[in-house]
């Protein structure tokens, strides 16, 4: 048993520490250099946790042609522990230039958010990535069984998603395709030159701003909250915890993993949506919102350990 356990441990660490570097020839023009850890997260009930950083892991970063600036997705666990959330001393950084956003916005006819979300999920799932429902959307899929009401009106003003570091970096490479296919773009909130939140939104009816706030456009937006595993050593629990660095909330690892796959037939689109949700969603919603079964304007807790 000891030898088997040791073998499993060794294999697990070998897989989690595996890194890949995309050849320059495959980069979209927007992102000239990207090095990232491979997301090893088969979608259905897999034990792998792609929010766990590997020792001596190569940096995750990308460079935007909008401002020729390098942006890093954090791989320093000590920085992750220190960052308190909800602050972006670097402001909001767009991954395409203002002229394109304004020109495309005037053309109108930007694609609906569920179609864009569905496309992004397919790209992430194809790479075995982690991008799961969070906060308001986690409630709506369980309480209303949809993102929209019977009239097709959205319950929320955006789609909240938890993402592994590798998925954050991967989604950044999709920006030009979002531009050309759907008329959408994205921006990152940056703190200490590290990405702490990603917003994806339609160019239509959007006003460019470097202020770190809600993105407003013709469609509800999509927000990615980077998540990291904080090892049990040195934290306030006796377990590994998963930290949403923007909100500052921490969750027991067993509440999140293994992630579950669900398929939603939404009133908002014809094609079913393949989605990811935490392993114990009810436990998380009760911790963050209390009685989540009753509609309320209450926002999720901040800086809480669930």
In the predicted structure, residue 23 carries a pLDDT above the cut 70: no
User: What torsion, rounded to 10 degrees, do the Cα atoms 283, 292, 49, 158 define?
Assistant: 180
Mean predicted lDDT score pLDDT of the chain: 85
In the predicted structure, residue 15 carries a pLDDT above the cut 90: no
* Ramachandran category for residue 128: left, alpha or beta (phi over 0 → left; psi -120 to 50 → alpha): left
In the predicted structure, residue 9 carries a pLDDT above the cut 60: no
The answer to whether the bond into 103 is cis (omega within 30° of 0) is no
Tell me what the mean pLDDT of segment 60-80 comes to. Answer: 87
pTM, 2 dp: 0.84
Q: Which residue has the higher pLDDT, 47 or 275?
A: 275
Residue-wise over 182-206: b if at least 16 C-beta within 10 A, else e? Answer: bbbbbbbbbbeebbbbbbbbbbbeb
Q: Could you give the maximum distance between any two Cα atoms of the chain, in Å? A: 65
Beta-bridge mates of residue 229: 242
pLDDT at 235: 64
Q: Which secondary structure element, helix H or strand E, spans residue 175, and what is its range?
A: helix 175-182
Measured distance CA(179)–CA(133) in Å, rounded = 24
pLDDT tens by residue, 121-149: 999 999 999 999 999 999 999 999 999 99
**Crossing angle of helices 281-289 and 135-143, rounded to 10°:** 120
Q: Which residue has the higher pLDDT, 224 or 48?
A: 224
Beta strand extents in 173-294 (DSSP E only): 184-191, 194-202, 221-230, 241-244, 250-252, 260-264, 273-277
């Amino acid at each position: 048993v000891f030898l088997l356990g040791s073998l499993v441990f060794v294999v697990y660490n070998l897989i989690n520490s595996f890194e890949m570097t995309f050849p320059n020839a495959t980069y979209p023009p927007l992102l000239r250099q990207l090095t990232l850890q491979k997301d090893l997260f088969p979608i259905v009930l897999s034990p792998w946790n792609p929010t766990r950083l590997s020792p001596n892991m190569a940096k995750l970063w990308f460079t935007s042609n909008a401002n020729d600036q390098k942006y890093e997705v954090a791989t320093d666990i000590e920085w992750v522990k220190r960052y308190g959330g909800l602050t972006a001393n670097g402001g909001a950084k767009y991954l395409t230039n203002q002229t394109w956003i304004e020109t495309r916005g005037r053309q109108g006819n930007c694609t609906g958010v569920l179609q864009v979300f569905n496309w992004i999920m397919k790209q992430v799932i194809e790479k075995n990535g982690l991008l799961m429902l969070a906060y308001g959307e986690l409630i709506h899929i369980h309480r209303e069984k949809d993102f929209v009401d019977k009239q097709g009106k959205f319950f929320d003003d955006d789609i909240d998603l938890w993402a592994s570091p590798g998925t954050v970096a991967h989604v950044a490479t999709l920006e030009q395709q979002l531009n050309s296919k759907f008329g959408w773009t994205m921006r990152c909130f940056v703190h200490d030159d590290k990405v702490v939140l990603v917003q994806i939104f339609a160019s239509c009816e959007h006003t460019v701003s470097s202020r770190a706030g809600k993105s407003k456009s013709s469609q509800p937006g999509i927000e990615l909250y980077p998540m990291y595993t904080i090892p049990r050593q040195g934290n306030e629990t006796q377990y590994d915890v998963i930290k949403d660095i923007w909100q500052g909330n921490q969750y027991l690892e067993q509440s999140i993993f293994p992630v579950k796959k669900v398929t939603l037939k939404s009133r908002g689109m014809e094609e079913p949506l393949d989605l990811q949700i935490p392993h114990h969603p009810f436990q998380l919603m009760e911790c963050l919102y209390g009685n989540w079964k009753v509609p309320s304007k209450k926002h999720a807790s901040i800086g809480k350990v669930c």
